[in-house]
Amino acid sequence: MDTLISFASAIPVWLWVTSGIIAFLFIAGERILWKYEAHFPMKTGCGRGKIKLVYGKKNGVRIRYRFELDERYQGRKLDIFLNNKLIHSIPADQTKAAKLFKFEKIALEKPQEGAEVEIYSERDKLFEGVLVLD
């Protein structure tokens, strides 16, 4: 027991602290199992955007979206479709700003790479793109 204590006391404090931080991050961190994204380049009269679908072992599937919308689409509900299936709706009260960013949990099966992503505002198709691995 004395040799164990003398060995532990010989290790510098900074090494104990660094090891503790790394151990904490390993235990508390999120393990990402898959991550897909779709980019929507600047479109005159609509804006631009990006969607990211992330599946973590602890938190499940989350969607992160970032849009810069034209004035006429601000304050309108946005619907996000994946292969013609509605996966998420952004309420009108969350689209009032020109720049929109959010990270939310959703229920979704693992999509395939190359799946079609479409963003609609009421009946207008704003953006379309495909999912790619991130």
Give the model confidence (pLDDT) of 55-106 as tens digits: 988 888 898 988 888 888 888 899 999 999 999 998 888 888 878 788 788 8
Q: Specify the number of domains making up the chain.
A: 1
Instruction: Residue 81: give the domain boundaries.
Output: 32-133
Token code pair at residue 63: 């969607």
Provide the CATH number for the domain around residue 98. 2.60.40.200
Judge whether 108 and 87 are in contact, CB under 8 Å. Answer: yes
Enter the pTM of the model. Answer: 0.76
| pLDDT for the residue 132 | 92
Task: Output the DSSP codes for 6-34.
Answer: HHHHHS-HHHHHHHHHHHHHHHHS--EEE
1 Cβ contact list (under 8 Å, min separation 6): none
| pLDDT for the residue 116 | 93
Is residue 73 a part of any domain in this protein? Answer: yes
Give the model confidence (pLDDT) of 3-41 as tens digits: 878 877 888 889 889 988 988 888 877 788 899 999 989
φ and ψ at residue 45, rounded to 5 degrees = 85, -5
Which residues are bridge partners to 63 per DSSP? 53, 104
